[in-house]
Amino acid sequence: MRKTLALVGVLTLLPLPAQAETPAQALTANVVHDPAKGTFSLSVQRDGRTVVLPSPLGIRTATADLTSGLRQVARSTRTVSEKYRMTTGKRLDRTVRHTETRYSLSGAGNARFDLVVRVAEDGVAYRYELPEPTDVLSEASAFAIPAEANAWLMPYNPQHENRRFRTTAGAAAVGEYGNPSLFQVGEDFVLLTESNVDGRYAGSSLRHTGGGTYQVQLKDQRVTGARIGPWRTVIVGDLAGVTESTLVDDLAEPSRIADTSWIRPGKVAWSWLSEHSSPRDFERQKVYVDFAARNGWPYVLVDEGWSDKWVPELTRYARAKGVDILLWFHWNQLDTAAERQTMLPLLQRWGVKGVKVDFMESDSQSRYQFYDAILADTAQRKLMINFHGSTIPHGLARTWPHLLTMEAVHGAEQLPLPDGNPIQPFTRNVVGSMDFTPVSLEVGPKVTSIGHEIALPVVFESGWTHFADKPEAYDRYPEALRFLNQVPTVWHQTEVAGGYPGETAVFARRNGDRWFVGGIAVGDARTLTAPLSFLGAGPWLVETIRDNGGRDDVVRSTARMSSSDTLSVRVPANGGFTAVICPATQGTTTCYKPIPQVPQTSLTVTPTTSVTAEPGSSFEVTGSFTVSSTRPVMDVELKPSVPDGWTVTGNPVTTRVLRQGEVLSGRWTVHVPAGARPGGFEVPVAAEYLVPDFPRVHVAKAVRGLVPLTGQAYVSDLSFDSATNGWGPVERDMSNGESGGGDGRPLSIAGTQYTKGLGVHAESEVVISLGGTCRTFTAKAGMDDETTSPGSSAFQVIGDGRVLHQTGVLRTGDAPVALTVALTGVRVLALKVTDGGDGKNFDHADWAEAHLTCS
């Protein structure tokens, strides 16, 4: 445990000496003025030892060079005291006590800015504040580290996924390195990073310019309209102190979400890494839902490839089992306000609880403005979020507590060797939740032990922990799975129990009255130790889970221990261990808790066949909800939900308690507005109830129907039942373009442009419900001229599952094929494009002037 120490910030105006330090002053920040050059620099000391050498300060804007010729105008000091609560992180409750000194500085032409410096128990930070919004060109900001200091660095890339490696501050090659960067200066450790970066500024890297100097390099050549810059952050202490630091969050802006009750961290079953094609498979995703429900994991993430054709049904299936669905998106699918205004309410209606947004891969100001926008919009819709292919955490999870995790790591998706695992908790994971996607038992290189893998959810912190392997793999290791079912993702306290970057890492984290210990090592077999001094008065029951030889399942043993004891575990090469510790009260034989399950229930709805609903008409729906289990359910509500603009006659049906065999029934009349859009619809009837250990459980079944199409219409103006596409979304009245929505060009086939139609990419399928009212479908089919290499596709018109017409293979440059297809009696139309037999690359295809004529 680290003791609280007094903090000071020291300003020295040369040639005067620095203020004297007292033994209680652990950290000092010396801001030094050189009056001859008019420059300012900052150095940092810990217990009198210099850990950051004098390093330049200053900023260059479009109107002034504020790096030299500076003088101090004023200075003031205050104490910053705050308390706040997180939804994720190394501990939930946080206390902030910083000494803040503001230096008002003036340069040539009386241009001014403020240098704001904060000194905390766990580090030093500074930022620049300009008097009015100004374009920023660069910063003089740099950190001079003693050249002989050990260093753990990551070559910069915008997705922050390169491997970290060990070197020294001076020996590292000249070039860019990513935040955070860790250095060992004698007995002290220094972690360099940044905090409170958002769309008002740009992100940065650390450019090693030689010696041990690391220059802050902005990722935009011009940051527009900046006024308050990010905190340049130096976390300082022993290794435990740096690792347990919350300084990055402490410097961030307070939460913008008043009610966080809907935000729920937890374990996630995730299929993409172990079987890439599975997110396209409804039945396979149900297997993951069943596995999650059986093991008490609250979420399933459906990654790239999901279809709106079946996600609503999967969501209903999952919620009835106490499991919620998360969905993957390429960021280009949500990068405009219009796309978010369309998609996010739809996700809410489906019952989806969160999104994984991927491939941002930029630290530019414009990309940070996207982060700002989507965080605000998802918060408004009560959708949790996970950023992949992203920047590092900058305190965003304090400002936006529904941000459950971020990637920015060389994680399991890279099929990494284990030597990086004991570096990540001391570097990347220090600054925020890290979506490493751990516990690869059968997927990946399989060079770590099972004990090492199951320790990762303790050693690594993530508000959502996405497990990397498939259900069958975990089921083959039942003792390992039992531990995974116990480990939480929310921590009240974190202690570093031992380790050294790149060699070992031993962490103890507390949730409620239980401690979870995880230890990992790379290299030869050895003994890992964890002094139990973090425990309070005992005795304590300690259940240790360790390897059992080869890659066999782990074994569990039990002992009684006290806070004066040390837990020692022999681990194999690249091995690890875990432990669960709880109070050894009378009669307690295990720290493991039962896995909660939702009660067995059933719901029936009518009509059971498809409803044809003319605009302006009404129809009746019913629902009956029954409890099959002996355990009663509480606060039950049964009601339908209808599409926007539709109305219902009849109130929800409720009961305080519903016991085994009892039935709750309701009857309602649904009114279809006169202006209802044609196409398929769903009216879900849902029962919601409360049982211990779960949020409100949602059991629903949908009444399905169709508003028939009449008159004439272009297909691009209609609602789709579903739309799948081989690259990006299906585009309306433009070519397929790139991976984002709305990024196509005018539809063009063999040099002729068309104003109406669909732009797609093989394999593609657009499904539209017609209701048997349409007579003909017409279109001009062909490959779009935007293909940069010859593409080829075949077009199919399918009615009620039967191929009504197909073109054969068409290639880039071929004249469009005119289609006229009879649709008499067809209820469901599908427009399908295949890859032509030679792969889908370059297969941008157009349904130009796609048109329906109906009764």
Pick the catalytic residue: 139, 220, 358, 731? 358
* CA geometry: angle 29, 35, 41, nearest 5 deg: 25
The CA distance from 89 to 591, in Å, is 23
Nearest to 800 by CA among 768, 775, 777, 776: 768
DSSP 749-788: ETTEEESSEEEEESSEEEEEE-TT-EEEEEEEEEE-TT-S
Burial class (CB in 10 A: 0-12, 13-18, 19+), 592: middle
Residue 829, helix vs strand vs coil: strand
DSSP alpha helix (H) spans, 275-324? 282-295, 311-319
Cβ neighbours of residue 279 under 8 Å, at least 6 residues apart? Answer: 271, 272, 285, 302, 303, 304, 305, 306, 328
738 is catalytic: no
Reported in sequence order, the residue ranges of 59-122 that DSSP labels E, i.e. its strands, are 59-61, 65-66, 71-85, 93-106, 112-120
Strands 299-302, 266-270: parallel, antiparallel or unpaired by DSSP? parallel
DSSP states of 193-231? EEES--TTS--EEEEEEETTEEEEEESSS-EEEEEEPPE
Q: Identify whether 413 is a catalytic site residue.
A: yes
Give me the half-sphere count of Cα atoms (radius 13 Å) on the Cβ side of residue 88: 36
Nearest CA to 538 out of 592, 588, 578 is that of 588
Q: Pairing mode, if any, of strands 213-218 and 204-210? A: antiparallel
Burial 14-25 (b: 16+ CB within 10 A, else e): eeeeeeeeeeeb
Annotated active-site residue in 313, 413, 503, 733:
413
Helices 337-350 and 365-380: angle between axes, nearest 10 degrees: 30
- Report the candidate in 642, 606, 611 with the shortest Cα–Cα distance to residue 624: 606
Asked whether 529 and 566 are in contact (CB, 8 A), the reply is yes
CA atoms within 13 A on the CB side of 463: 26
Distance between CA atoms of 393 and 383, rounded to whole angstroms?
19
Angle at 261 between CA 259 and CA 264, to 5 degrees: 130
Is the N-terminal amide bond of 643 cis, ω within 30° of 0? no
With H, G, I as helix, E, B as strand and everything else as coil, classify residue 849.
Answer: strand
Structure tokens at 655: 């009961």
Contact (Cβ atoms closer than 8 angstroms) between residue 752 and residue 345: no
Please tell me the distance from the alpha carbon of residue 240 to that of residue 121, in angstroms, as a whole number: 13
The Cα 256–Cα 68 span in angstroms is: 38
Residue 474, φ and ψ in degrees, nearest 5: -65, -40
Cis ω before 82 (30° cut-off from 0): no
**β-sheet bridge partners, residue 518:** 507, 578
- Please list the active-site residues: 358, 413
